[in-house]
């Protein structure tokens, strides 16, 4: 029997990048995957790739920052399943630019998706997991959450918040049968650079990062493997970091 056979795994932001690779990785190990997030065509592509490979996948469009949309997602999922076994709070957005050039509106948007979205996922899916005393939450943070990131302070702050929240939640749930992991990818080759909000002095950072991405070409499937492993090991905090990315930060 495959390791995640008869398990239900919900992945947010599953229409591209790390979320898609994670959905594929759990499906390949036997899970029924619920691919949630923005962008119905991306979610449909994720679903098609899983079905082509012989796996099972449902899709649910949902904006993780929108409480009513997340309630609707939880209701739809819990009508079909007692609980999810693994919740991967992956949906996230980037923001680049030195602090004084960034706007409070960017702060609010990034925190709404990267932090509030994680909180809402936990709020809505944890009670059913706790009732069964079984389950695992994976929150996607970033190396930016604990290395100095002068060109992305808003993003870094949001990812530090995800790390602090995850570690606190893990301690809270330690006696309730539910594990919590925070995954901290380094720089991974996905759409996120292209979709990152760039303000003020962000252009040179963005050009450098794009170049760095091309040279490193670290695939999202490597992060997906680390996520699956974190669930299997009940790991707390997992850096997934090409060494060169650490060097890039430390040299600055
Ligand atoms: P990506 O842009 O390919 O994926 C992000 C996904 O989140 C997209 O499918 C997008 O549609 C979805 N999304 C965005 N806002 C949403 C919202 N409000 N509601 C629902 N879905 C939403 O980029 P990625 O690199 O795969 O990012 C996945 C996660 O990994 C993010 O949390 C990101 O911060 C984190 N991360 C990425 C890197 C990297 O270098 N790529 C490094 C560290 C952490």
pLDDT number for residue 151: 84
Q: What is the mean pLDDT of residues 199-224?
A: 72
What is the percent of the chain where pLDDT is above 90?
Answer: 74
pLDDT number for residue 120: 98
Confidence label for 239 from pLDDT (cuts 50, 70 and 90): confident
In a domain, residue 84? The reply is yes
Least confident interval from 120-124, 215-219, 220-224: 215-219
In a domain, residue 3? The reply is no
Q: How many CB atoms lie within 10 A of CB 215?
A: 10
Ligand 1, from 10, 11, 17: best to mutate by most atoms within 8 Å of Cβ?
A: 17
Confidence label for 210 from pLDDT (cuts 50, 70 and 90): low
pLDDT number for residue 37: 98
Least confident interval from 21-25, 41-45, 162-166, 216-220: 216-220
CA angle 132, 133, 137 (to 5 degrees): 105
Nearest to 139 by CA among 172, 94, 179: 179
- The residue among 213 and 103 whose pLDDT is bigger is 103
Structure-token pair, residue 190: 């996905």
Cβ–ligand 1 distance for 197 under 6 Å, the answer no
pLDDT number for residue 251: 47
In a domain, residue 104? The reply is yes
Residue 216 pLDDT > 70, yes or no?
no
What is the rounded CA–CA span in Å between residue 46 and residue 58?
10
In a domain, residue 1? The reply is no
pLDDT number for residue 196: 82
Q: Which of 155, 213, 218, 248 is catalytic?
A: 155
Residue 204 pLDDT > 70, yes or no?
no
Least confident interval from 64-68, 132-136, 159-163, 203-207: 203-207
pLDDT number for residue 211: 65
Q: Which residues pair with 198 in a beta bridge?
A: 96
Cβ–ligand 1 distance for 242 under 6 Å, the answer no
Do residues 118 and 89 lie in contact, with contact meaning Cβ atoms separated by under 8 Å?
Answer: yes
Say how many Å lie between the CA of residue 175 and the centre of ligand 1.
31
How far, CA to CA in Å, does 57 sit from each of 13, 22, 87, 89, 225? 14, 12, 14, 17, 18
Q: Whose CA is nearest to atom 6 of ligand 1?
A: 13
What is the rounded CA–CA span in Å between residue 141 and residue 181?
10
| 3-state DSSP assignment of residue 194 | helix
pLDDT number for residue 252: 44
In a domain, residue 176? The reply is yes
In a domain, residue 2? The reply is no
Structure-token pair, residue 192: 């996120």
Q: Whose CA is nearest to atom 32 of ligand 1?
A: 92
Structural domains of the chain, count: 1
Q: What is the CATH number of the domain that holds 177?
A: 3.40.50.720
pLDDT number for residue 213: 63
Q: Is 248 assigned a catalytic role?
A: no
Do residues 196 and 213 lie in contact, with contact meaning Cβ atoms separated by under 8 Å?
Answer: no
pLDDT number for residue 203: 59
Q: What's the pTM value of the predicted model, to 2 decimals?
A: 0.95
Domain that holds residue 23: 8-250
Ligand 1, from 14, 19, 23, 213: best to mutate by most atoms within 8 Å of Cβ?
A: 19
What is the rounded CA–CA span in Å between residue 205 and residue 201?
8
């Amino acid at each position: 029997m495959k390791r995640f056979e008869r398990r239900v795994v919900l992945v947010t932001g599953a229409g591209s990048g790390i979320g898609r690779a994670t959905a594929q990785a759990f499906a390949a190990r036997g899970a029924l995957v619920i691919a949630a997030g923005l962008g119905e065509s991306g979610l449909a592509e994720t679903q098609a790739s899983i079905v082509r490979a012989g796996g099972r996948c449902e899709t649910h469009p949902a904006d993780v920052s929108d409480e009513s949309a997340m309630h609707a997602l939880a209701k739809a999922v819990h009508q079909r399943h007692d609980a999810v076994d693994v919740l991967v709070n992956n949906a996230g957005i980037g923001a680049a630019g030195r602090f004084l050039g960034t706007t409070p509106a960017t702060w609010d948007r990034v925190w709404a998706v990267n932090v509030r979205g994680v909180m809402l996922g936990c709020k809505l899916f944890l009670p059913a997991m706790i009732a069964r005393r079984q389950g695992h939450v994976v929150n996607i943070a970033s190396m930016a959450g604990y290395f100095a990131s002068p060109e992305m302070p808003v993003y870094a702050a949001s990812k530090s918040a995800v790390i602090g929240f995850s570690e606190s939640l893990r301690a809270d749930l330690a006696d309730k049968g539910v594990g919590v992991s925070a995954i901290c990818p380094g720089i991974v080759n996905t759409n996120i650079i292209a979709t990152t909000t760039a303000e003020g002095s962000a252009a040179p950072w963005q050009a450098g990062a794009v170049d760095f991405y091309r040279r490193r070409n670290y695939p999202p499937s490597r992060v997906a493997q680390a996520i699956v492993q974190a669930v299997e090991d009940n790991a707390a905090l997992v850096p997934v970091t090409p060494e060169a990315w650490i060097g890039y930060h430390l040299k600055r």
